[in-house]
């Protein structure tokens, strides 16, 4: 298949030469925040500027899951399987309860409003980690212009007591994030100032210390080009599958770019799902794609 670019022999074992890149839907504004529900055999994904969350199933195709969505962006699931999400407009983290009601888990830090939570992940201890850049309140397009009250930061929320802590704040635009399979590493995209002509953009890697109480390090792990890493997922072997301007880049834990799945539009976010977590769902601007791989996503949603 011409959708694959092999840059390192290791990549051959992770992809399927006969698996096509399939278009699942188009006509969106800008897709982000995909999350897979294996129990429901469905994908949820944010159509961010259209203020809605879409649902996709193999048999039923696409439908609206929630509108308005509060300009929802990133999603994940907690250890009880509940939907956890980021709202640009309402500047908060939410949890959708099993009865369908929505609980705001965090919207302030130190007496000031969060900016526009962007992407989110849960650790196996139940803590919720999310990035809070200014992107969503910089424009009316992705949530509505509002005044920032806090610097960009990476937060850790303990939903058992509501405790919210800044884990790192030396960021210009923290964005996607994911733990390594053993949760000893945390990858965080830094996507730079929104309106700069040539912003510095890369994925950083932190050491997770003291059972998730502290981060150290934060060196540049990999610089994605062309485009940049908005969101990414880690597979069961610890490779990072990142969004890029020309598709999905697979990056080994040693930082080597192993290969690429070519996608015709800029990719923002992606997630593993489907049968055995081996199908990659790809948010590419206004179009949703999927492709089966020969690799499985890590257990994290
Ligand atoms: Mg993002």
At 296 the three-state DSSP class reads coil
Does residue 199 carry a pLDDT above 80? no
Strands of 102-106's sheet in order across: 72-77, 83-87, 92-96, 102-106
What pLDDT was estimated at residue 34?
A: 98
What pLDDT was estimated at residue 200?
A: 79
At 210 the three-state DSSP class reads helix
What pLDDT was estimated at residue 275?
A: 85
What pLDDT was estimated at residue 273?
A: 97
Does residue 25 carry a pLDDT above 80? yes
Does residue 238 carry a pLDDT above 60? yes
Residue 6 CA to ligand 1 centre (angstroms): 26
What pLDDT was estimated at residue 193?
A: 81
Q: Percentage of residues in the chain with pLDDT exceeding 90?
A: 94
**Looking at residues 132-147, what average pLDDT do you find?**
94
Residue 23 CA to ligand 1 centre (angstroms): 21
pTM score > 0.85 for this model? Answer: yes
Q: Report whether 202 contacts 240 (CB < 8 A).
A: no
Alpha carbon 21 to chain centroid distance?
20
- Name all domains of the chain by residue range, CATH numbers in brackets: 4-292 (2.120.10.30)
Residue 176 CA to ligand 1 centre (angstroms): 5
Q: Which neighbouring-strand residues pair with 153?
A: 132
**Looking at residues 140-156, what average pLDDT do you find?**
96
Residue 136 CA to ligand 1 centre (angstroms): 10
Residue 4 CA to ligand 1 centre (angstroms): 24
**Looking at residues 211-235, what average pLDDT do you find?**
96
Q: Quote the CA–CA distance of 297 and 274 in Å, as a whole number.
A: 10
Does residue 69 carry a pLDDT above 80? yes
Q: Dihedral of CA 228/233/237/238: which sign?
A: positive
**Looking at residues 37-57, what average pLDDT do you find?**
97
At 152 the three-state DSSP class reads coil
Does residue 1 carry a pLDDT above 60? no
Residue 173 CA to ligand 1 centre (angstroms): 10
Residue 18 CA to ligand 1 centre (angstroms): 30
Q: Element (H or E) spanning 240, and its range? A: strand 240-244
Residue 62 CA to ligand 1 centre (angstroms): 22
Does residue 301 carry a pLDDT above 60? no
What pLDDT was estimated at residue 107?
A: 98
Q: What is the mean pLDDT of the chain?
A: 96
Residue 135 CA to ligand 1 centre (angstroms): 9
Does residue 300 carry a pLDDT above 70? no
Q: How confident is the model at residue 197 (pLDDT cuts 50, 70, 90)?
A: confident
Judge residue 40's burial from the number of C-beta atoms within 10 Å of its C-beta, 0-12 exposed, 13-18 middle, 19 or more buried.
Answer: exposed
**Looking at residues 13-30, what average pLDDT do you find?**
96
Q: Dihedral of CA 120/219/164/211: which sign?
A: positive
**Looking at residues 139-157, what average pLDDT do you find?**
96
């Amino acid at each position: 298949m011409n959708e694959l670019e092999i840059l390192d022999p290791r990549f051959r074992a992770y992809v399927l030469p006969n698996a096509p890149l399939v278009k699942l839907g188009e006509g969106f504004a800008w897709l982000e925040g995909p999350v897979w529900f294996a129990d429901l055999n469905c994908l949820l994904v944010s159509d961010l500027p259209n203020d809605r969350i879409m649902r996709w199933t193999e048999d039923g195709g696409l439908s609206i899951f929630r509108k308005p969505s509060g300009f929802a962006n990133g999603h994940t699931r907690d250890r009880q399987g509940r939907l956890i999400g980021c709202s640009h407009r309402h500047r908060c983290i939410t949890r959708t309860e099993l009865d369908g009601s929505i609980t705001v888990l965090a919207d302030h830090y130190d007496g000031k409003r969060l900016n526009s939570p962007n992407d989110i992940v849960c650790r196996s201890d139940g803590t919720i980690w999310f990035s809070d850049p200014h992107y969503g309140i910089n424009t009316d397009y992705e949530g509505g212009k509002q005044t920032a009250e806090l610097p960009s930061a990476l937060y850790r929320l303990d939903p058992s007591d509501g405790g919210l802590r800044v884990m790192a704040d030396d960021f210009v635009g923290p964005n996607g994030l994911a733990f390594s399979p053993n949760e000893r590493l945390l990858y965080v995209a830094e996507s730079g100032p929104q309106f700069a002509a040539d912003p510095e953009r890369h994925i950083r890697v932190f050491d997770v210390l003291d059972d998730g109480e502290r981060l150290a390090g934060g060196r540049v792990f990999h610089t994605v080009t062309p485009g940049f890493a908005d969101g990414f997922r880690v597979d069961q072997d610890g490779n990072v599958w990142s969004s890029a301007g020309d598709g999905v880049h697979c990056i080994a834990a040693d930082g080597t770019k192993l290969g690429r799945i070519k996608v015709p539009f800029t990719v923002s976010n992606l997630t593993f799902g489907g049968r055995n977590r081996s199908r990659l769902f790809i948010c590419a601007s206004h179009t949703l794609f999927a492709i089966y791989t020969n690799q499985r996503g890590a257990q994290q949603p």
